[in-house]
Amino acid sequence: MHIDDIMQGGSPTFSFEFFPPKTRDAAEMLYKTIRDLESYMPDFVSVTYGAGGSTRELTHDLVERIQHTTKLDPVPHLTCVCHNEEEIETILARYARSAIANILALGGDRPTAMAYDKSRDSFQHAIDLVKFVRRFNESGAHPDARGFGIGVAGFPEGHPATPNRLREMDYFKAKVDAGAHYIVTQLFFDNRDFFDFRERCALAGVHIPIIAGIMPITSISGLKRMAELAGGARFPAKLLRALNSCQDNPETVRTVGIQYALEQCHELIAERVRGIHFYTLNRSDATRTIFDSLGIRRDRSAEASSR
Ligand X SMILES: Cc1cc2nc3c(=O)[nH]c(=O)nc-3n(C[C@H](O)[C@H](O)[C@H](O)COP(=O)(O)OP(=O)(O)OC[C@H]3O[C@@H](n4cnc5c(N)ncnc54)[C@H](O)[C@@H]3O)c2cc1C
Q: Which residues are catalytic?
A: 17
Of 18, 44, 49, 197, which one interacts with ligand X (CB under 6 A)? Answer: 49
- To the nearest whole angstrom, how small is the minimum distance from the Cβ of residue 116 to ligand X? 12
Q: Which of 75, 126, 210, 290 binds ligand X (CB under 6 A)?
A: 126
Does 67 contact ligand X by CB under 6 A? no
Candidates 65, 94, 125, 135: give the one binding ligand X (CB under 6 A).
125
Based on CB atoms, which residue is closest to ligand X, 213 or 257?
213
Q: Which of residues 141-160 bind ligand X (CB under 6 A)?
A: 153, 159
Neighbouring C-beta atoms of residue 30, cutoff 10 Å: 20
Q: Would strands 102-106 and 74-79 be described as parallel, antiparallel, or unpaired?
A: parallel
State yes or no: residue 107 binds ligand X (CB under 6 A): yes
Q: Which range of residues in 30-38, 105-113, 197-205, 248-256 is near ligand X by CB under 6 A?
A: 105-113
Q: Is 77 in the site for ligand X (CB under 6 A)?
A: yes
Q: Give the chain's end-to-end CA distance (angstroms, integer).
A: 12
Residue 102, interface with ligand X (CB under 6 A)? no
What string marks each residue from 198 to 227 as x (binds ligand X by CB under 6 A) or -? ---------------x--------------
**Site of interaction with ligand X (CB under 6 A):** 48-49, 51, 77, 79, 106-109, 125-127, 153, 159, 161-162, 168, 171, 175, 184, 186, 213
